[in-house]
Amino acid sequence: MASLANGLDDRSREVSVCKTVAAIAGGYLLLSFIAPAMMPEGSVPELSGRANAMDYATEGSWGNHDHGEDSPVGHDQSAHGGTFVWTELNPVWAFVYGFGDLNCHQKHERSWEINGNQMPVCTRDIGIFFGLFAGALLFGWRGLNRWTIRDSFLSVFPDHSLESIYLADRRMFAMLVVIGVGLGPMAVDGFTQMLTDYESNNPLRILTGIAAGTVVGWWFCSALCARTKYFGDDPSSVLLPADARLTLK
């Protein structure tokens, strides 16, 4: 088994898990481009909804009302191409836009347009999904099951580069630093935009989304692959950098 020894002889489970995560993230990302490109031109008007809410499911949904052009949330939908109802689309396009409706604010000024149709999620989310895909591929390329999530997460790095971290037992700190580096730019950009008059731009939203999505996808695959049963529940059999050993407290 991959992780019973040094993790190099059989990584089939790690690869399989990461392929699944990459397929889900990459599949939705691809559909986000295909759906507006394949739908009739002008089918999706300029939208402006709320995150974590269904705003465009029916004609009477919140997003299809006029909320005022100066409203901090929403706009006058009648002035932006009229109403939009994703439940009237075919099942595939309905899923793509329904998922976007639930999870994204879909502000038109922060979204791309293809074939005269607004994409189902904003540019930040496009970056996040690309990052999730990339993070899964990264762990699938180098990641190992090393019992704990933190050790599995760090296994992407060459062992020799981790020796000082393991000798000082700073593994959790190292993992949190990497995650912080990935999430920090998006948090700063997003919260500064929300709390001040600062307005970000789509290229920056894409880049910060990619960074955040990558560490999340990387961590998520680490969490899915970190399993003790492949070591016979014996932590001493896990080989770590600097000849470190896991012990049960």
If one counts every other C-beta atom within 10 angstroms of the C-beta of residue 218, the result is 29
Between vectors from CA 148 to CA 144 and to CA 151, what angle results, nearest 5°?
55
Confidence band, pLDDT 50/70/90 cuts, at residue 2: very low
Percentage of the chain with pLDDT > 70? 96
With tokens 């990619």, the residue in question is 210
Model confidence, pTM: 0.91
Can you say how many angstroms the Cα of residue 9 is from the centroid of all Cα atoms in its chain?
30
Over residues 101-154, the pLDDT tens digits come to 999 999 999 999 999 999 999 999 999 999 999 999 999 999 999 999 999 999
Q: 28-44 pLDDT, tens per residue?
A: 999 999 999 999 999 99
Q: 195 and 187 in contact (C-beta within 8 Å)?
A: no
Coil, helix or strand for 66? strand
Mean pLDDT, range 10-22, rounded to an integer: 92
The answer to whether the CB of 96 falls within 8 A of the CB of 117 is no
